[in-house]
Amino acid sequence: MRTRVTKPSLAAVLVLVLATTALISASPAVQALTLDTTNKVALTGSTVNANVTVGVKAGDWMEYNVTYMGASDPPQEFPNWFRFRITDVQDTNITAEMTFEALDGQISTHSNTYDLKIGVLNLLVVPAGLTYADIFYHQDHGNITIAGTESATYAGITRVAFYAIFDEKEVNWDKATGIFLQSEQVLNETDVAQKVTLSATSLWYDPSTAPDNSELDQMVFYAKVIVVIAVVAIIAFLLLRTLKKRGK
């Protein structure tokens, strides 16, 4: 005698699937796994800015030149040069003054306070000491991953820099201080390439631009020689006069 197997209906299959899913979801093991996954995501997010090192201090400043290349001219309100000066640092809060010269010659200055944990204006300062695969957060760009480190010359001095490539741009920062060094990108909806480069900073200086004090140093040297000769002459004169008095 053959046993007849009745195929379950589609509705029965759906009921079975839903019931099984409900049981699995109610399982403590699955709940723990879900919570564990959530915790891992939260921990990953917290490690992005867990160690935000501020590498600048009040009084530091940076100056940048901006150049453009392309078949068309960039908008005249775009920068030609700008200066970023740190006026105060409290924990991860950085207050800075931006002086901005546009291509049309207009100059403007404004000041603001930024929290390094969520991002400084135009990425001009980021956490210091980052290296390959480190991640930091910026409110305008999200999580940014460091692609590597390299040594190059900026403002006349060889510096170790870390860099990242994101949003179709490449940006370099100084490893020791976290200050912006250079960026290259093609401006949105144009064929114009923009390059921003650090030209000067108070954090280091270019020896080739230091004043030539060689003549001053020579004058100081000769002045010292004259003083020594004068002192010796006075001592000799006093000694001779003393000897003459004794001879009498």
Nearest to 73 by CA among 196, 194, 195, 192: 192
Task: Give the predicted TM-score (pTM) of the model.
Answer: 0.66
Domain range summary for the chain, segments of one domain joined by +: 10-48, 61-208, 217-242
pLDDT in tens, 126-172: 999 999 999 999 999 999 999 999 999 999 999 999 999 999 999 99
% of the chain exceeding 90 in pLDDT = 58
| Structure confidence at residue 221 as a pLDDT band (50, 70, 90) | confident
Mean pLDDT of the chain: 79
Residues 89-121: b if buried by 16+ CB within 10 A, e if exposed: beebebebebbbebbeeeeeeeeeebebbebbe
User: Residue written as tokens 């078949």?
Assistant: 71
